Amino acid sequence: MHMQFGIFSVGDITQDPTTGITPTETERLQNLLTIAQHAEEVGLDVFAMGEHHNPPFFPSSPVAINSWLAAKTERIILSTATTLITTNDPVRLAEDYAMLQHLSGGRMDLTLGRGNTGPVYPWFGEDIRQGIPLAIEKYGLLYRLWREEFVDWEGKFRTPLQGFQSTPRPLDGVPPFVWHGSIRSPEIAEQAAYYGDGFFANHIFWPASHTAKMVGFYRQRFEHYGHGTADQAIVGLGGQVFMRKNSQDAVREFRPYFDNAPVYGHGPSLEEFTAQTPLTVGSPQQVIDRTLGFRDYVGDYQRQLFLMDHAGLPLKTVLEQLDILGEEVVPVLRREFAKNRASRVPDAPTHAARVQAALAAEQVDASTGVTTAASAE
């Protein structure tokens, strides 16, 4: 599959501004699980769950939610948006996500982010001013834990390890695929490029020109580090849409949610924000046209996720949005994005493809007589 399409959720508990109803934590969680399962039903490829440690957000443990979903779904890839690499212990992350990898039969990956809520750092014993060094050191360890059987390690931000073996070992000897998510830090794009990992641009809060710059930088650095040509780098984008058959209806219905939304509410008008960011409120065709336009400034890419269940939108509305997305939008996007896609541009990463690639690499090693450790890459 060239591209994966799906949804990502921040998991905010927000009052519906049109009814005044605020779901309870329990309701919101149950609704979210319904939404994730419906995403699979309408043919989407990915569901990604955020991680937060402060109200009005409830998903403190995306790995727990995704594990439950793994048991309830059959096909959809369970990812995160994002897993906090700064404040979680990389040993715990290695263990939890490897466990999820086994539970889901490889139907998972994860997106690492730093988190932008200041107090979360001290709550977890970290210093926000060390955000970038934390992300670099902790991922350096996580990367090794999934690739080396026994790890000796010493760093600045956690207790040293001697002969530590993270369990379970990655499924089929292939570590989970990792995306690095960032809105504005080129250091994170550099990190993704260095490891040959994916780069996920949040995309929804900033102008397209900014995303184009960050992705362009990541691609250039990916090539510099020898993982392939720039157009072979693995890119994911966020997006935000609200659709109705008639675009005027979409605007009318979505406006109160937009005006009162967390993050950007009470600021720019819906029209200004639509012009400045990838937000598209209109007909399915408008969403298709706008989304296809992303390729013009980031190149052919691998994953497109949409934000759909936020700002107090009721469950029924979100499920309707998923229906439109699955039935009318994504099939066209799949077809259109496949056109003129250079053959050397890699497909979106899956566990099965990565296992095959690892096997192929082993055969090459065997035929040349070269023995390499950790040939899973």
Partner 1 sequence: MNTPKRIAVISAGLGKPSSTRMLADRLALESADVLRERGVEVETSTHELRDIASDITNNMLTGFPSEKLEAVIADVTGADGLIVVSPVFSASYSGLFKSFFDVLDPASLAGMPVLIGATAGTARHSLVLDHALRPLFSYLRAIVLPTGVFAATDDWGEAGAGGQSALTDRIARAAGELAPLVEASERSSAPRDPFGFDSVLSPVGGFQPN
Rule CB under 8 A: which residues touch partner 1? 132-133, 136-137, 139-141, 143, 153, 155, 186-187, 190-191, 194, 205-207, 210, 213, 217, 221, 224-225, 263-268, 272-273, 276
Report the nearest approach of partner 1 to the CB of residue 312 (Å). 18
Q: How many residues does the chain have?
A: 377
Report the nearest approach of partner 1 to the CB of residue 210 (Å). 7
Q: Which is nearer to partner 1, 224 or 344 (CB)?
A: 224
Report the nearest approach of partner 1 to the CB of residue 258 (Å). 12
For tokens 């190149």, the residue is 299
| Alpha carbon distance 324, 291 (integer Å) | 15
Q: Which is nearer to partner 1, 124 or 143 (CB)?
A: 143
Report the nearest approach of partner 1 to the CB of residue 244 (Å). 25
Q: Which is nearer to partner 1, 133 or 228 (CB)?
A: 133
Report the nearest approach of partner 1 to the CB of residue 144 (Å). 9
Report the nearest approach of partner 1 to the CB of residue 20 (Å). 23
Degrees to nearest 5, angle at CA 49 with 240 and 75: 95
Quickly list DSSP for 308-344. Answer: -S-TT--HHHHHHHHHHIIIIIHHHHHHHHHTT--TT
Q: Which is nearer to partner 1, 12 or 45 (CB)?
A: 12
| Alpha carbon distance 285, 101 (integer Å) | 36
Q: Which is nearer to partner 1, 28 or 203 (CB)?
A: 203
**Do 86 and 135 touch, CB atoms closer than 8 A?**
yes
Q: Tell me the CA distances in angstroms from 231 to 10, 207, 215, 234, 324, one per residue in order.
A: 29, 22, 10, 8, 31
**Do 169 and 175 touch, CB atoms closer than 8 A?**
no
Peptide bond just before 229 cis, omega within 30 deg: no
**Do 84 and 120 touch, CB atoms closer than 8 A?**
yes
Residue 108 carries which DSSP code? Answer: B
Q: Which is nearer to partner 1, 5 or 153 (CB)?
A: 153
